[in-house]
Structure 1
Amino acid sequence: MMKETVLSRSVRMICVAGMAMSAHAAFAQDAAPADTVQKVQITGSRLMSPSAESPTPLQILTSADIAASGVVNLQDLLQKNPTLGTPTLSRTNSNFLTSGGGVSTVNLRNLGDSRTLVLVNGRRFVSGVPGDTAVDLNTIPVDFIERVELLTGGASATYGSDAVAGVVNIILKKNFEGVTVDGSVGKSDRGDDYKKKLAITFGTTSADGGSNIMGHFGYSKQGSVMSKDRPNLGAAVDQYSLSEAVTGDVRDIFKTTAPFYSSFAPQGRFFYGSGKTAGNFTYDKNGNVIPFDTNGANGAATGFNRSEYRTIAVPTERYLFATNGNLKLNEKHSAFFEGTYASTKVDTNIEPFPLDSANVYQGTGGVLPGETLVNGVKVRNPLIPDYLWNRMTDTDEDGLKDYHFTRRLSEFGPRHSTVNRGTLRLATGLKGTLPFTEDWNYEAFMSYGRTTESQSSTGQVNVMSMRNALAAIPNPDGGVMCADAQARAEGCVPINIFGLNTISPEALKYVTAPGSLETAITQKIAGATISGELPWGLPAGNIGVAGGFEWRSEDSSSVADPLTQAGLNAGNAIPPTYGSFIVREEFVETQVPLLKDQKFAKNLDFRASFRHGDYSTVGITKSWNYGFEWAPISDIKFRGTKAVSTRAPNINELYSPPTQDFPSGIVDPCEGVTATSNDPRSIACRAAPGVNANIAANGGVFTLTQADIQGISGYNRGNPDLKAERGKSGTVGVVITPTSIPMLSKFTFTADYFNIRIEDAIVSTPRQFTLQQCYGGGNPVYCQFITRRPTAEGSASAGSIKYSDTGVSNSGGLGTRGVDLTASWADKVGPGRLSAKLSYTYLKTLWNVPLPGEAADESAGEVESPRNKAVLNLAYKWGAFGINTTTSYTGRVKLDDQFLNTYDNPELAPKIGAYVSTDFQLTYDVKKNYQFYFGMDNAFDKKAPPIVSGLPGNTTGTETDASAYDPIGRRYYLGLRVSL
């Protein structure tokens, strides 16, 4: 069985940082002898110390906490901690991404995944996101984790770049003896989101205890959750008209606005004429010509319900293997190794492709001819119905009748992607005591990590083939053929887009464009550290010193198929991205004991560290921090730190070429502008020729259609001229452990103030901010990011936004301030033992300055950044029975004040009430080594608030913010743990 060392007892002491007592005490083993003294290393320091307490705010999640949660992915547990913000990538917010589907990342303080450094056993782990540094938590087996340490505040001086917001250090199990098996199954209250898990952990130790090896095999599978199966999240509709200002509760949007279906219908929508004489029509299910109607105001809606196909939670399947070991070479030296391999399969699914003729005929704005010149003679496309032919005119003055269309390509089926990811990480090294010393230790290591991704997708269109297939002429034998002879020789088949299910299998095969994406990330690291105590000391103790170096190489590539790269699959144009960098760093750290066992100074220690880095991309970087720990008496300790951290730009930020995106939730400030309105916004809007054309065509008011709202595209750009950002952070806190008061001896309390300010923060300029500044904000420099249509194109109106771009730059800054509180208590109550832990974070401010010199945009109190977050853990163990509860609280928030121009009066922004969710787990120990458990997540089936499409914070396809709220609902699971 696995013996508990002094390290384990020290970790228990970190209750001052918030570690909860666990109800799984039945699996704890006897402690080591009391006279054993072992120095340990904690997150945030390279020094070995008999004390496991940290001068920096540190919260701990143990293996027992993981077991009590029933999670199969560590992200699901971490997200309940109030220090964590909403992750960029998760199983419930990545279904619509062109890459990264199903990846699970972590985001401390809402400062961004790239500013949260994830470590495994105190060392960097290879990224799971191409071009980024964010680690995919799918690759970490939860049953192999001993504990997770969350350190907030800058830690770059200790660990290097990216630790601006803090560190998540995942400590894997070691010195394990025996075999443990954990298996569980579960599903949601509605019969979906099924999950299966099997985990086997095994290990053995040599007779002398000096060498050991252990391994872990894990398998998990999580099923999908479809949008159509969650009526509370708007499954019957997929778009809302948001042109009118909405105040009060966000739910009032449902009362004041009308639902809309997508204007891209499977039977097609066809346009003829131009200007005020333009007309359009569609078909009913019987093939009859009828007017188009997205919201059913004049009868049954003729649009398309995209939510029928969308996925709230993507299905994920994982195979995990991990191992580590230690080989004793002699009494002073040993070798160690770590290995991890993860294979992850993810499937994403969204609605069939919405094809606009503008995707095919970009040079003409979507206008395509209905006839072809053959030997100088106009030949009509025989597939065009008479109703449309008789109304067509020559709108582009080429002598040929024209039309344009939009159509949902339902015959293609949904757009589906299958993603296979593999992550390998190996680390090995030597550690021990330096020759001729007893107190100086060393560690030297090398590690290699590689993540590969292979993605195949269906449902896209080959634009060139579609253009050939749309140009049809009569065949001499009485049929229809493609007009271009070369295309016919290459297998061209005419395509009939007029009506429901009219595309033949042969035409479908000809115009389909299978997609692919291949990515690779490689990380190589070598480093060494020595630590010990100087031969001379102070009256309070010896001075501790650590120093070392680290060399790191990172490279990344992301390459889509040729059609996707060229934007010829009617979707996002995604050029390839390549990049690499090398960094060499040296660091030093010291701990100076100033006072010990003095009046009003039980102890007073000073800590400091410094790191020098040399990047092949941005040159020299410098990071440092210092802090103190002062305990006037044994029951009270004060702590504080001040740090300067750095973050070098990642490969995507430096080298990403313009990549096409289709952003949602954008509100056009020009909507409603009239020909005579004279405010700054109206004047700036009318400077665009297309806006004036729109106003003239719509009775003097700038008007947008549903197609205009849904049809905004844009490009995301990297910037090779970026420089490293610098984060300045400070923390001040108190730890109260009243052990001298008998009735409070089992109680601990911590309070920590944090202040993080990032200079020259690397950000992408927010699209909505860009629009507000360009139109009425008095900053025309932002207008370079906006492209409006000068004339109508396809189904889009003149003056509507065609491209809303965003670029990466060193902004004017980013920062946050707030307070963390934790309280924990455990003692015998009645016949059993009760433990309780409360963690609470108050967010005073979270701000960013998009460009230097601009005013700060405040986000605290808005969606994804609540001012108040808390989690309460309660556990009671009585004999063989145990119960654990976790209650998560997310405070009231409002929508982004950029929405509907409410930044001058934030109280006008729509509100979202507080959100409370509770999880339960019941355990029963059949014997000492056998435990059954049953759990319920979101036990009271708390519904996610309705944040519908078009609102800021909406996660496409979920009609809520699936990053901040639970979109799935009540879930059950049942499992068995066995230790042998």
Structure 2
Amino acid sequence: MLLKRKFLFGTTILAGVMAAAAPALAQSTQVPGVTVTGQQGQEATEIEEVVVTGSRIRRDPVNSPTPLIQVEREDLLSTGQATVIDYLATIPALSNSLVPSDTTGSNLNDGGLEFANLRSLGSGRTLTLIDGRRHVGSQAGTLQVDVSTIPRLLIQNIEIITGGASSVYGADAVSGVLNYILRKDFEGLEIDANWGQLVQGGEADTRRISVLAGANLLDDRLNIYAHGEYERAEEVYSEHIDWLRRGRVALGIDADPTQASLGPVNDGFIDVAEFYGARRLDRPQWGSTTLANMQRPSRLSDPDVPFANCSGLSTSSACFNVDPAYTYWYDGPTARLANFGQRIGNTGTNRPWNIGGDGEPANLTAFNNRSQFPFQESERYQTGLTFQLTDNIEFYGEAKYTTEDTFDVGQFSFWDIFITDAGFGGGINSGSFVGPGLINGTSQFSTRTDNAFLPANVATAIQNNTFVRYGPATANADGPVLNPAQSGPIANHRGFGIERNQTNNREITRFVAGLEGNWDRVGFIDNVNWTLSYVHGEMNNVNREQGPDAIRFGHAMDSVVDLAGEVNGRPGEIVCRVQLLNARGITIREQNPNTATTVYTDPNTNPEIAGCVPLNVFGKGNQSPEAIEYITAAIRVRETNEQESAVAAISGQLWDFWGAGPLGLAVGAEYRREHTQGIGRSADTAGRVLQLNTGADFLPAEYESEEWFAEMSLPLLRDSWMGEYAELSASYRAFDYTTAGEGDVYGVNLVYRPIRDITFKTSFNTSFRAPTLQEGFRPFSQTFVNGFVDPCHTGVIANFQGDDAAQTKANRIANCTQLAAAKGLAFDFGSTTVTQADDYRPVYGSGIASVLGGNTNLNPEESESFTFSTAIAPRMFPNLSLVLDYYEITVNNVIITPGGQFLADDCVSNAQLNTQTCGLVFRNNPTTGDPFDNFKVGAPAGDPIGGFILGPINRSKLETRGLDFTVNYSLDTEEAFGRNWGRFSYSLGGLWLIDQKNFTNPADPNAFTDSTSGVFFPRVEFVSRLTWRPNDVLAMTWTADWMSSQDLNKNRDLVATGNLDNQPYDWNRTGNFTRHDFAVRYDLRDDLTLRANVTNVFDTEAPPFLGFASTFDPYGRRFNVGLNYRPF
């Protein structure tokens, strides 16, 4: 809260306001007219009535109607965390905020964004304000504010309301408000600089310098300031993080029987074990080659290897499981059978893991070795002024410009290249040759054994390949050998290729102008305060995504030897096959699946053919820079947000009816316009087939809102036999959106202080959130669903664990059977037969192409929140305060954008097929010889939709409730013990999460998913800070950030399914997690302060089976230093 202080605080404690180097709940122990004397005759603190966040009525901060958390500027400057949001995320109420490490990977257009997320209800339900005013959103069509664009040195403090506040501040304040209060009337020069490590070992660092200058002119009637800031953070890769480099992986070592007649699910053998130093060899960068083969299925009483049929020339993934006799590894230009070392992982048909052999280290494969923290380079500028026009009227203005460039690498491009001469006739130089290799989409290609870069031993092995076929296993016998051996002259060369990366530039401009004034009295209204403000903001974002052009990749990798020099007159030269075909006058059809019948009109000048550069895809390090340049494509998206906001408000005090204090009243109106538009990736795609995300233009979309609000405070008693003070307040807001329509919200608050030592507060608020322009109007664009697990997979159904597992299994069996029957297929989804031949066991080799877009039929979200707070500041312990804040929030008509996995699971997991979600999942793969492929989620290459339609929907509700707690205490040793050992300050702030429920099944309103105690939702978390100030110039702080253990699997689910041997028991929970930080601050001179931090002093790591989770501090021990210089 904004306090006008006439004296320094000394040892005075305003409960929850002052806590050394810690965010604190803003409550106060004082009442009007009461003074507290500090040590050594320190003069008393005087507190005046001000406007407090959470209300527009001026009042004593003691009587603030809602709970507040306050963060000081010094907290932000002194932290060892890399960013503002990383520090805010240490506050339990904000622990699941979006931090930069969350913006890497497959996400687009969001590099480096920092969004606050109160109560883990989503950043879109948290309203961020600057001095109580709106700020333009940082992503196209959204309202979330990137808090990194708010310069740290300009921040006075951050006030956080933890509860619904739409009736006071408008839409989006569903879970609360973050109000950044900027410094006022700054005079002088201040320079702040910081350098720090981003990761243990120092492979990446961050640095920042900020300068603030201000002056008072015209007899102090005019104040002007200017601020500039530069910040740079290096990119952190997976390989920079020590615990990822250890190559830890959890693998199946035992598969349980799927039928009780075959044996118990709990057979006493642990199903999963962990291994270190593991390597994976089935899909390395630039590939390994596996010849067609078939794995022998295990007996059904111990079904480690399931039955997967291979018919010889099929391109089914069931035919290309890695095997020591069929898989080739590349060393430079040569190939040999792969070294499987000590093979680990006994379950599944494809068992690619080993220790000591070939392959890429676990966690550092081309799939995993991506950016974990994006490269960021930012410049931020802001200037402003305040001008006292008269004694009662002030003009203020601000102008702001920020620019940020980011870069990060996501998953590398991937492909499957089938090598066979079958169906193509002979080689390029044989008379029976017909046509080029095939390009079957963005990631599936074909070439022949005459490929110029394919080692001769591999080509010969493919041509002569045969393998043993096996029949289905029985209860007590492995699958029998079927004679004769199967001819299989085909191989799959699969791997990762060039990286897919993105660069992003985001610019924000914001202008603020306004007038504010006050009069002692207007008519019968006292202490009149009024404000008029206007905000204009713009966000411009340009994202450049880079990856492979599939057509060019297909041409380049299908290279041959031009024996006669027909292309360039150089016999023996390696050329692209299409170039040699063109030189021979053979008609070449485009390989674009969308235009498969089109003939190249002028192949001699077409850059896809004339410019083709042969690409060696057989082994890492064999690729020429010219070939990489030829296959690399880049596309851009350009997006704009524009915001206009105007607010007029007036407040004052009316009558004092019974001596408790005057009636407070505030009324006002707000107009806001949000506009967005963009040029999509399709403009740059220009008909090309790219392994990148495409998308149409974001056509101009906007909405306008008109809102009217009122607020009232009614003091009920003061210095009465019934108590020290009580106040009832209420707020109301009516709105009219051009998209969401009309509605209203309200809030009621009560403050009661029976004695000066204790204060009670309670509130009930309704709030709303209108669908954003992105949720409503986002154009459909291509995306990929990665890591998909088919909920109809026989093994997945058998091993399903979760609430009501038995019923869910039965539902999936019935619903998947119905879906398959509609396609004329039949599988044994429930393992009811004593064979695996009729099971459904698909293998998904890569991401599933899908589309993602908006939904114009969305309804606004509505919420109700209730809080009850108790603040205790006992007089017998003048430096102690305790605050408890209980909260309940329910959000209805929740807008979610479910992922493909959610849609597929929800389609088949209920008592009947869910027509809403089933209609968004497509099993449209073309008919092949493999029935698994026919039923898999997906669509033929060139299909405009793909496997999923992803987009926002209104879906049931969210509920959360919990208890915030804060303890603050300070001790002056000289006052307490007569010995001057300095001053100690202690704070403890935390959260006890009672419930975090997600109701996602409209057919059963009482069914919910309980996230409480799950990963990212610890039952208890707190931050403890102890600061020792031995003298006036030195302060040392120890911080402990603690989270209770979180469930990866709930024990009750394992008991319900009887699968107690699923994995080691201690893997089911993360265990408690504590990170310790040390900080030192030293005032070298009056104008120079030095500081140093060690973050995660004891290098605490999350359990390795959890994987990368930003809330568990994955970066290890790191250091930072900084200074603050104030020359005048």
Category of TM-score, reference length = shorter chain: 0.7 to 0.9
Offset of residue 263 of structure 1: 2.3
CA positional deviation for 1:977: 1.7
1:868: how far off? 0.7
1:499 aligns with 2:618: yes
Match of 1:284 among 330, 337, 340: 330
Contact 1:237 1:259 in 2 (8 A): no
Q: Which amino acid aligns with 2:211?
A: I
In the other structure, the counterpart of 1:513 is: 633
Alignment of 1:212-291 (within 5 A): 212-233=223-244, 236=247, 254=274, 260=280, 263=283, 265-269=285-289, 275-278=310-313, 279-280=319-320, 281-285=327-331, 286-288=333-335, 290=337
Report the CA distance between 1:119 and its aligned residue.
0.7
Deviations 1:12-71 (Å, cap 9, x if unpaired)? Answer: 9994346413499xxx9x999979774311111111223354221211111232233245
Rounded Cα–Cα distance in structure 2 between residues aligned with 1:656 and 1:160: 23
Kindly indicate whether residue 374 of structure 2 is the aligned counterpart of residue 326 of structure 1. Answer: no
Taking structure 1 as the reference length, the TM-score comes to 0.86
Q: Does 1:44 align with 2:54?
A: yes
Deviation at 1:5, TM superposition (A): 3.5
Deviates further, 112-121 or 759-768: 759-768
Q: 1:731 aligns with which of 828, 846, 867?
A: 867
Which residue matches 1:661?
783
- Residue aligned with 1:76, SS: helix
Q: Distance in 2 between matches of 1:11 and 1:128?
A: 41
Q: Deviations over 1:270-291 (max 9, x none)?
A: 6769943245554421532636
| 1:86 is aligned to 2:96 | yes
Matched, 1:100 2:93: no
Match of 2:757 in 1: 635
Aligned 1:911-950 pairs, distance under 5 A: 911-947=1069-1105
Structure 1 window deviating more from structure 2 (226-235 vs 463-472): it is 463-472
* Range moving further from structure 2, 372-381 or 760-769: 372-381
1:245-394 alignment runs, 5 A limit:
254=274, 260=280, 263=283, 265-269=285-289, 275-278=310-313, 279-280=319-320, 281-285=327-331, 286-288=333-335, 290=337, 295-297=352-354, 300-302=357-359, 305-306=365-366, 309-350=369-410, 352-356=412-416, 378=434, 382-383=450-451, 386-387=459-460, 390=463
Instruction: Give the conservation status (yes or no) of the 8 Å contact 1:882–1:923.
Output: yes
The whole-number CA distance in structure 1 between the counterparts of 2:557 and 2:604 is 12
Residue 973 (1) aligns with residue 1033 (2): no
What is the distance in 1 between the residues matched to 2:530 and 2:222?
18
Query: What's the CA shift for 1:776?
Result: 4.2
Q: State the AA in 2 paired with 1:685.
A: C
Per-residue CA deviations over 1:620-678 (Å, capped at 9, x if unaligned) read 12111011101111111110000110000111211123444334554433334499999
Aligned to 1:490: 606
- The whole-number CA distance in structure 2 between the counterparts of 1:56 and 1:606 is 12
Q: Which has the larger radius of gyration?
A: 2
Matches within 5 A, 1:538-617: 538-562=658-682, 564=685, 568-578=689-699, 579-617=701-739
Residues 219 and 318 in structure 1, CA contact (< 8 A), matched pair in contact too: yes
SS at match of 2:96: coil
CA deviations on 1:232-260 (whole Å, 9 max, x unpaired) are 13563689669969999x99752599864
SS at 1:893 equivalent = coil
Aligned-pair CA distance for 1:348: 0.5
Question: What secondary structure sits across from 2:662 in the alignment?
Answer: strand
Q: Which residue identity is paired with 1:732? A: F
**Letter aligned with residue 51 of structure 1:** P
- Tell me whether 1:746 sits opposite 2:879 in the alignment: yes
Question: What amino acid maps onto 2:330 in structure 1?
Answer: D
Identical-residue share of aligned pairs (%): 24
Q: Is the CA contact 2:279–2:354 (under 8 Å) kept in the aligned structure 1?
A: no
Instruction: Report the Cα offset of residue 4 of structure 1.
Output: 8.7
- The letter for the 2-side match of 1:263 is R
CA pair 461-402 structure 1, distance change in 2 beyond 3 A: farther
Residue of structure 2 equivalent to 1:756 = 889
- Is 2:1123 aligned against 1:961? no
Partner of 2:919: 784
Unaligned runs of 5+ in 2: 24-37, 257-264, 294-308, 314-318, 321-326, 341-350, 437-447, 467-487, 582-587, 589-599, 800-808, 939-946, 974-979
From 866, 879, 898, the counterpart of 1:765: 898
- In 2: Cα distance, 1:824 partner to 1:600 partner: 28
Shift of the alpha carbon at 1:849? Answer: 1.6
The question of whether the paired residues in 2 share the 8 Å contact of 1:818 and 1:841 is answered with yes
The match for 1:702 is: 840
Residue 1047 of structure 2: aligned partner: 894
- Name which of structure 1's ranges 138-147 and 257-266 shifts more when overlaid on structure 2: 257-266
Picking from 837, 861, 864, the partner of 2:987 is 837
Structure-2 separation of matches of 1:240 and 1:785: 32
Residue 495 (structure 1) shift: 3.9
Partner of residue 73, structure 1: 83
> Could you list the per-position Cα deviations for residues 415-474 of structure 1 after superposition, in whole angstroms to 9, with x for gaps in the alignment?
33222221111101111126973621110011111111222233x122333445566786
Within the candidate set 1010, 1014, 1017, 1:865 is matched to 1017
* Other-structure match for 1:131: 141
Aligned residue type for 1:383: N
> Is the alpha carbon distance of 1:798 and 1:172 closer, same or farther for their aligned partners in structure 2, counting shifts above 3 Å?
same
Q: Which residue is 1:417 aligned to?
A: 502
Q: Match of 1:46, as an amino acid?
A: R
* SS class of match (1:135): coil
Match among 997, 1000, 1006 for residue 850 of structure 1: 1000
Q: Is the 8 A contact 1:428 1:445 kept in 2?
A: yes
Find 1:685's aligned residue among 804, 808, 816.
Answer: 816
Q: Relative to structure 1, is the Cα distance of residues 756 and 351 closer, same or farther in structure 2, using a 3 angstrom cutoff? A: closer
**Is 2:462–2:491's contact at 8 Å kept on the other side of the alignment?**
no
Looking at structure 1, the residues matched to 217 and 462 of structure 2 have their Cα atoms a distance apart, in angstroms, of 86
The 5 A counterparts of 1:119-198 are: 119-187=129-197, 188-198=199-209
2: CA distance, partners of 1:720 / 1:833: 59
Task: Give, in whole Å, the separation in 2 of the partners of 1:683 and 1:419.
Answer: 47
Alpha-carbon contact 2:8-2:45 (below 8 Å) kept: no
Structure 1 residues 128 and 553: CA distance shift in structure 2, 3 A = same
Q: How far is the alpha carbon of 1:837 from its aligned partner?
A: 1.0
Change (3 A) 1:353 1:765: closer
SS in 1 for 2:287: coil
Equivalent position of 1:462 in the other structure: 549
Paired residue for 1:398? none
Deviations 1:308-343 (A, max 9, x none): 742222222221222332101011111001232222
Offset of 1:72 from its aligned partner?
5.5
SS in structure 2 at match of 1:775: helix
Distance change >3 Å, CA 284–CA 468, structure 1 → 2 = closer
Aligned to 1:534: 654
* Structure 1, 13-22 or 335-344: larger mean CA deviation: 13-22
Cα 1:467/1:21, change in 2 over 3 Å: closer
RMSD: 4.2
How many Å separate the matches in 2 of 1:806 and 1:133? 21
Out of 871, 876, 883, the position equivalent to 2:1028 is 876
**Taking structure 1 as reference, are residues 538 and 861 closer, same or farther at Cα in structure 2, changes over 3 Å only?**
same
Q: Aligned residue pairs: how many?
A: 941
1:807 is matched by which residue type in structure 2?
Answer: G
Change (3 A) 1:82 1:370: farther
- How has the CA–CA distance of structure 1 residues 717 and 350 changed in structure 2, closer, same or farther, with 3 Å as cutoff? closer
* Aligned equivalent of 1:396: none
CA distances 1:536-557 after superposition (whole Å, capped 9, x unpaired): 6443121111111111111223
Within the candidate set 430, 444, 447, 2:535 is matched to: 447
Whether 1:204 aligns to 2:227 is no
TM-score w.r.t. the length of structure 2 is 0.76
Amino acid corresponding to residue 1012 of structure 2 in structure 1: A
2:907 is matched with 774
Q: Secondary structure in 1 aligned to 2:220?
A: coil
- Secondary structure (helix, strand or coil) at the match of 1:721 reads coil
- Give yes or no for contact 1:565–1:574 (8 Å, CA) kept in 2: no
